[in-house]
Amino acid sequence: MVTRQTSLAEQWLAVCRPRLPLQNPLWAFVHNNILMHFEERPFLEAVREAAALYRARPFESEAFYRDELERGRIRRECLQAVLAARRATLGEVDVERFLAESSIGDALAPLEHLRLAPRLPRELAQRHQRRLEDLLVPLVAAYLDQGLAGWSTPLADGSLWDAFRESVATAPGWSFDWREQLVRRLASHDNAGRDLEALIEAEVRECALDADGAAYCLETLFVLKGWSGLVWRLESEPELAPVQAPAQLRLRDWLAVLLVTQHALDDALLEELGVARVRAMRQPAPIEATRSLARLALWQEAYERSFAGPFLEHLERGPRKPDASTPPRFQALVCMDDREESFRRALEAQSGGCETFGAVGFFGVDMRFERVGAALATCQCPPIIKPSRTLRETPLDGQGAALARLEQAGRAGATASLAAYYHSRSLLRGVAVSLGLGLASFVPLVFKTLLPGRIERWRSFVLRAAFPRPRTRIALEAQDGYSIEEQAGIVEAVLRTCGLTREFAPLVAVIAHGSTSSNNPFRQAYGCGACSGNSGAPNARAFAAMANSSEVRARLASRGFELPAQVLFVPCLHDTALDRIEMLDRHAWPTARKAELEQLEASLESAARANACERGVRFEQGPVYGLTRVSEADAAAIAQHVQDRGHDLAQPRPEYGHNRVAACIIGRRAITRGLFLDRRSFLVSYDPTQDPRGERLPAAVLGSAPVAVNIAMDYYFSRVDPEGFGAGSKLPLNVVSLLGVITGSKSDLRIGLARQMVELHEPLRILVLLEARAEHVTRLVDGHARLSRLVRGGWMQLGRIDPDTQAIELWNGEQFEPWRSALPEFAEPADAPSALDTILASADDRLAPALP
């Protein structure tokens, strides 16, 4: 390898690697800012570069913004204020002129393609892409396959380059039209005795003309961007592969394959056209997606201000109820997730009083978790943290036999389902399977389609009766588990950060969340983002076990943190799709407090039902779509409807996930308590009055704000260009290699989220509000590299709420200023709260525009 120090090709690859899409296998899907590696540049510059590479529009279209202006979602005065702020560059421009002249603000020229293919006539350019996919997609998909195909590929033993060479060599001369050019190209490299790096250099030198080599390689890798991203991801982190990544997987090989095939295909098409490469390269090739970006950025700013203004006004006006005078009946520690906002509101609205706190949903337990009966450990902490240890679920004393029975049944079932899978796809065994199981498969076919929710309930009832799930606990104290000291540290950090340090209610529910969906390759996208897309149940169980332990409490007391003995932490799971509550570790309930705990369960369930009603008004095919008032009968209908939705194989929208999320508020619940936020905000509890020196602020912000930005940006980009940044419609998606999805039979590996998952989203950069002192916020932002990039680069809007005066200020690029002066169009407080309709009412939802 070290023939030369670092070859040119290696240098180019070093530039390319961090630019590729962050494409995890869907098993390990996590929400990422799709452009995370562009974050070191300001937003507009970064999206311009990305638009060129992804060939995708990074803003909504002009038509969309005009529509939104028309219907009042973008306010004229906001657009006017945006234009006025650019007076120095734009001159005096009013809204009318801006609308009339579509060149205003169009300061950035479109970027140019570097490759030849986009310079060909349109029809040929498209054919170029398809032929490339025809040859390469089956190859790379088979090479990376984790076990979807019945015939384990013999190619995966070697390198991707060798597999490619062999596949070309064994193809007969007539197998594809441009084979001759490809073979000629390969032979010339062989004759010159080039190794792969020399080959890459030679290819680039010949065909890129005077373009920058690294940029040319990058554009080439983006021809099949999803596959390139996945190849690099599995090369750099082979443990992400669900089964096994090929040992010799290298991005370098894939780049060489792409360069050679692309250029051979160029040759073939040029021969057909009768044009020389050099002449064809003179043709200009502007990238459509990079047109008028600067103008669209103005629109986007006006769009965001039109959200921020009314939203801040709403917050400022807020009910600001004083904390309830009577001590709350119970308290709940809930994930910060925006989907729990409505659930918390419903919970607090109940009589008897409940206080809720928003924490990052892994509750400080940074573990990998081995569930009973699962082969793979799941990562139960945010993707930015490496799990510090692996914990196991172990049966309680006397449950060993039940566990063994369950595991045996699980293994038998798993063997049978794998056998049915592979054998049904083979020839003679396939006859046996189709004769044996074929008629039987009409049963699930009919019933799962007609009664999805009920069938699932009966099935799990029967399964549970036959194989009762053993009572288990999480082995915290295991050899490399958490020590008592560490457990006390976790409990203290979580409780202190969210300000739950005194006035404890007798019961504290620790509510994790997960989501049920079926037939959904993107299931991990609906789980708890703070648990890497998994259900947070193990974390809630672990946290409650820690906080209930008398040893831990003694240790806490010695640190000056008193947890009264009667306080009981109760782990629960909220299913955000089915809106069901599961009380976890019921066996650990003290018998004396059973009645009290059952009351808690009833409260949580009734809040979940209320939550289903609120979600239901957005489900167009549901029973309460668009209703403003939901009757008792409707409530029962929607409760059944959400059960069906989660289990329905046909349902591409089991829930709407983080659609419409636009804000993240980190501060006391008192700021937002009783305030309708329409599930648009992450809510993280942080009590600045208990933290005068701001020591807990980093824990509250760094665990939440970057996750919030990742989720918001993932939704943003998938929504603004569902084909370029997103995965397109779910209907033609086809699972490939057990790693991802493609569209139809052959296509690039799709990245981002599917269209049905983001159809209600408003693409906005997220507004993060911290209730903290200015100096603490500034210190935090300056001290953290990524946060600083996000704030200064305009990837999010930062604001703060003063802990004493509750005045809201926004970051203007240099410092905080009162929000009404940062957004001068809102200088005068509005008197009618009706202005909120445009941002917080389901009647004003706007669907993603349909394709032509």
Partner 1 sequence: MITLETVLIGGLLAAFLPCAAMGLSLLIGAPMSERRSQQSAHAQALVLFVVAAALIVAHFRGDGPRELRLAPLLEAHGYSWTPVFLLDRLSLAYVALVALVHQVVVRFSIPAFHRESGAQRYWFLVSLLALSLWLVSLAGNIDVLFVGWELVGVCSVSLIAFFRHNLRSTENSLRALVYYRCCDAAMLFAAVWIHHELPSSDFTQFANAAGSKAAAGIGALLVLSSLAKSAQLPMSPWLHRAMEGPATSSAIFYGALSVHLGPWLLLRTQPLWDEHLLPRAACGLIGLATAVYASLVGRTRPDAKTALAYAAMAQLGVIYVEIALGLETLALVHLWAHAGLRTWQFLRSSSLIQDFQANPLVGADVRLRARAGLWRALVGAQLERRIYLAAMRLFWLDALHWRTVARPTLALFGWVQRVEERVLGGAGRGSAE
Taking CB under 8 A as the binding criterion, the range among 40-48, 265-273, 739-747, 828-836 that sits at the site for partner 1 is 739-747
CA dihedral defined by 339, 344, 350, 356, rounded to 10 degrees? 170
Taking CB under 8 A as the binding criterion, the range among 138-146, 252-260, 664-672, 809-817 that sits at the site for partner 1 is 138-146
Rounded to a whole number of angstroms, the distance between the first and last alpha carbons of the chain is 51
Min separation Cβ 120 and partner 1, Å: 15
Within 613-632, the residues that bind partner 1 by CB under 8 A are 620-621
Of 273 and 731, which has the nearer Cβ to partner 1? 731
460 lies in the site for partner 1, by CB under 8 A: no
Q: Of 765, 749, 768, which is closest to residue 228 (Cα–Cα)? A: 749
Of 441 and 689, which has the nearer Cβ to partner 1? 441
521 lies in the site for partner 1, by CB under 8 A: yes
Taking CB under 8 A as the binding criterion, the range among 517-525, 573-581, 593-601, 676-684 that sits at the site for partner 1 is 517-525
450 lies in the site for partner 1, by CB under 8 A: yes
Min separation Cβ 467 and partner 1, Å: 13
CA distance 554 to 560: 10
**β-pair type (378-379, 472-474):** unpaired
CA distance 607 to 396: 32
Tell the residue number behind the tokens 């007076």, with chain if given: 87
Identify whether the C-beta of residue 481 lies closer than 8 Å to the C-beta of residue 541: no
From the number of C-beta atoms within 10 Å of its C-beta (0-12, 13-18, 19+), residue 783 rates as: exposed
Of 277 and 371, which has the nearer Cβ to partner 1? 371
Identify whether the C-beta of residue 638 lies closer than 8 Å to the C-beta of residue 616: yes
Which residue type occupies 504?
A: F
142 lies in the site for partner 1, by CB under 8 A: yes
Of 306 and 424, which has the nearer Cβ to partner 1? 424
**Binding residue for partner 1 (CB under 8 A) from 745, 788, 812, 815?**
745
Within 663-722, the residues that bind partner 1 by CB under 8 A are none
Using CB under 8 A, count the residues that bind partner 1.
101
Taking CB under 8 A as the binding criterion, the range among 47-55, 311-319, 430-438, 781-789 that sits at the site for partner 1 is 430-438
Taking CB under 8 A as the binding criterion, the range among 183-191, 518-526, 598-606, 786-794 that sits at the site for partner 1 is 518-526
The length of the chain in residues reads 852
Within 17-56, the residues that bind partner 1 by CB under 8 A are 26-27
Residue 395: which H helix or E strand, with range? strand 389-395
Mask for 333-372, x = binds partner 1 (CB under 8 A): ----------------------------------------
**Binding residue for partner 1 (CB under 8 A) from 11, 188, 236, 415?**
415
Taking CB under 8 A as the binding criterion, the range among 174-182, 189-197, 625-633, 697-705 that sits at the site for partner 1 is 174-182
Min separation Cβ 539 and partner 1, Å: 19
Residue 418: which H helix or E strand, with range? helix 400-423
205 lies in the site for partner 1, by CB under 8 A: no
Taking CB under 8 A as the binding criterion, the range among 184-192, 237-245, 351-359, 461-469 that sits at the site for partner 1 is 237-245
**Binding residue for partner 1 (CB under 8 A) from 417, 689, 788, 815?**
417
Mask for 490-509, x = binds partner 1 (CB under 8 A): --------------------
408 lies in the site for partner 1, by CB under 8 A: no
Burial per residue of 229-252, b for 16 or more beta-carbon CB atoms within 10 angstroms, e otherwise:
bbbbbbbeeeebbbeebbeebbbb
Min separation Cβ 229 and partner 1, Å: 17
**Binding residue for partner 1 (CB under 8 A) from 434, 689, 815, 821?**
434
Within 101-130, the residues that bind partner 1 by CB under 8 A are 126, 130
Tokens of 449: 């389609």
Of 231 and 822, which has the nearer Cβ to partner 1? 231
100 lies in the site for partner 1, by CB under 8 A: no
Within 523-582, the residues that bind partner 1 by CB under 8 A are 523
**Binding residue for partner 1 (CB under 8 A) from 187, 349, 446, 557?**
446
Min separation Cβ 628 and partner 1, Å: 21
**β-pair type (568-575, 507-514):** parallel
CA distances from 106 to 84, 620, 710, 795, 830 (A): 16, 39, 29, 21, 33
CA distance 574 to 361: 12
Taking CB under 8 A as the binding criterion, the range among 36-44, 235-243, 538-546, 703-711 that sits at the site for partner 1 is 235-243
**Binding residue for partner 1 (CB under 8 A) from 319, 352, 444, 674?**
444
Taking CB under 8 A as the binding criterion, the range among 405-413, 473-481, 485-493, 697-705 that sits at the site for partner 1 is 405-413
483 lies in the site for partner 1, by CB under 8 A: no
Min separation Cβ 30 and partner 1, Å: 15
Tell the residue number behind the tokens 């609906």, with chain if given: 526
Of 263 and 645, which has the nearer Cβ to partner 1? 645
CA distance 748 to 130: 10
**Binding residue for partner 1 (CB under 8 A) from 109, 385, 445, 636?**
445
404 lies in the site for partner 1, by CB under 8 A: no
Min separation Cβ 573 and partner 1, Å: 17
Tokens of 381: 């902490």
CA distances from 416 to 412, 521, 607 (A): 6, 22, 40
Neighbouring C-beta atoms of residue 824, cutoff 10 Å: 13
Taking CB under 8 A as the binding criterion, the range among 133-141, 599-607, 679-687, 810-818 that sits at the site for partner 1 is 133-141
Alpha helices in 94-177 (DSSP H): 95-100, 122-144, 160-170
**Binding residue for partner 1 (CB under 8 A) from 585, 714, 759, 771?**
759
Of 467 and 589, which has the nearer Cβ to partner 1? 467
Residue 647: which H helix or E strand, with range? helix 632-647
Longest CA–CA span in the chain (Å) reads 89
Min separation Cβ 396 and partner 1, Å: 21
Identify whether the C-beta of residue 200 lies closer than 8 Å to the C-beta of residue 252: yes
Min separation Cβ 741 and partner 1, Å: 8
CA distance 563 to 570: 15
Task: Transcribe 654-680 into DSSP letters.
Answer: S--TTTT--EEEEE-GGGTTT---TT-
**Residues 258, 261, 265: CA angle, nearest 5 degrees:** 135
Mask for 60-99, x = binds partner 1 (CB under 8 A): ----------------------------------------
Q: Is 369 helix (H, G, I), strand (E, B) or coil?
A: strand
**Binding residue for partner 1 (CB under 8 A) from 427, 465, 592, 595?**
427
**Binding residue for partner 1 (CB under 8 A) from 275, 422, 588, 596?**
422
Of 147 and 213, which has the nearer Cβ to partner 1? 147
CA distance 27 to 247: 20
Min separation Cβ 148 and partner 1, Å: 5
Taking CB under 8 A as the binding criterion, the range among 79-87, 480-488, 516-524, 781-789 that sits at the site for partner 1 is 516-524
Alpha helices in 424-529 (DSSP H): 428-437, 442-450, 452-466, 484-498
The dihedral built from the CA positions of residue 36, 39, 43 and 48, taken in this order, carries a sign that is negative
Count Cα neighbours of 433 within 13 Å in the Cβ-side half-sphere: 15
CA distance 852 to 850: 6
**β-pair type (378-379, 367-370):** antiparallel
Min separation Cβ 548 and partner 1, Å: 30
CA distance 7 to 198: 8
